[in-house]
Amino acid sequence: MSRVPPRISAFINQKGGVGKTTSTVNIGAAIASLGRKVLLIDLDPQSHLSLHLGVDGASVGQTVYDLMLDPDTRTEDCIVKVRPNLDILPSTVDLAAAEMELASTPDRNNILKHRFQEVCDRYEFVLLDCPPSLGLLTLNGLCLAGEVVVPMQAHFLAMQGLSKLLETVKLVSQGLNPSLKVGGVILCMHETQSTHSKEVVAELDQFFEESAGSGLPWEHAKVMRPAIRRNIKLAEAPSFGQTIFDYAEWCPGAIDYRTLAERFVRDWDRAHGVDAGAVRAAEVAASTSVSAAANERATEAVPSASRSPTPAKAASPTQVAPAPQAVADPKPATARASKSERVAKAAVDASAPIPIESPRTAAHELSSATLSVEPKHVRRSV
């Protein structure tokens, strides 16, 4: 298989609490479980990405801060392996000082890009969790990335934020990073039944459709499907240092992120002419080792007290294996097939077109929305 460049995606939204970290962790974990090599980069001094994966930046040694501030630090020395195929470049609160400390450094927006070259060949997908601001750290993310992915909620005010973000991407693409594009929007904490959400999604769809062929960085962008439904399991998982697939692998949040990640991978492979059959064979082969490693992990102790506020809860099998989801989850947690069989099946399914209409999920709700809304905020201000 010819070498395809890594898909490097910066998950950015200057608005806080919209689902950037949750999306980065769970899409990254889902891609890794398909047997693809993934690096997650925590560019946020809040370190939520690191904590979500049970990594305490303060105790692992070197982090993004060291990488950006100390030219003698080797990139690979900052990387922590957290799951099979899933590595993380963690951060700590120290990173907050980097903006000031680098203020007079020449070419400071490209530091991360230069440092990443040392490990570029090792990864197929690189996801960057950016802070909720457009400072030096986010600019470093934008200079390294090939695309911006915008996690957001389907609210009208969020669309104004989106239009500002698109303007920023345009500016960066005109100077610092001419190859930067917008991959699309991920709808997080989505209320599938709300009329307001449906109107916003219809407006977003229309906006991106009308941008096709415009030559703007978002001309190929889209609303990624499925939308990620609001699901409390996604909010619970970080307190155990677990991905949603470790914590409740068949809950609605896991199903949505898994499906979205499979399409994310498939789109990239198709765009680069990757042989789906070869990829599928590799995925199936990888599923065996993923399964073995997952079983091993399940027998390990839960994360340390600092990472797991309620470790006793994590130890309970009923917490880890949630009750079956009546509508969205066709395979209850009381697994009928072995984990390796399920992972292999997911890998095979990922290479076939996924019908939008079935099962009835958020994707169906969105694709069937027929509301016609006069485009407002985004089109006017972009």
Binding positions for ligand ATP, rule: CB under 6 A: 16-22, 44, 46, 48, 132, 188-189, 228, 230-232, 234-235, 238, 253
Amino acid at 102: L
Q: Which does 61 bind (CB under 5 to 8 A by kind): Mg ion, ligand ATP, none?
A: none
If binding is defined by CB under 5 A, does position 52 make contact with Mg ion? no
CB 126 within 8 A of CB 6: yes
Of 33 and 192, nearer to ligand ATP (C-beta) is 192
Q: Considering the complex, what minimum distance in angstroms separates the CB of residue 71 from Mg ion?
A: 28
Of 6 and 238, nearer to Mg ion (C-beta) is 238
> How many angstroms separate the Cα of 28 from the Cα of each of 95, 187, 212, 340, 375?
22, 17, 28, 19, 33
If binding is defined by CB under 5 A, does position 20 make contact with Mg ion? yes
Of 46 and 211, nearer to ligand ATP (C-beta) is 46
If binding is defined by CB under 5 A, does position 21 make contact with Mg ion? yes
Query: What is the H or E stretch that residue 123 is in?
Result: none
Spatial distance between the Cα atoms of 77 and 156, rounded to a whole number of angstroms: 43
If binding is defined by CB under 5 A, does position 48 make contact with Mg ion? yes
Of 86 and 279, nearer to ligand ATP (C-beta) is 86
Of 78 and 188, nearer to ligand ATP (C-beta) is 188
Q: Considering the complex, what minimum distance in angstroms separates the CB of residue 97 from Mg ion?
A: 19
Q: Considering the complex, what minimum distance in angstroms separates the CB of residue 112 from Mg ion?
A: 17
If binding is defined by CB under 5 A, does position 26 make contact with Mg ion? no
Collect all residues with Cβ–Cβ distance below 8 Å to 153 and sequence separation of at least 6.
18, 19, 187, 188, 189, 190
Q: Which does 30 bind (CB under 5 to 8 A by kind): Mg ion, ligand ATP, none?
A: none
Query: What is the H or E stretch that residue 141 is in?
Result: helix 136-144
3-state secondary structure (DSSP) of residue 179: coil
Spatial distance between the Cα atoms of 231 and 3, rounded to a whole number of angstroms: 37
3-state secondary structure (DSSP) of residue 184: strand
List residues near Mg ion by CB under 5 A. 20-21, 48
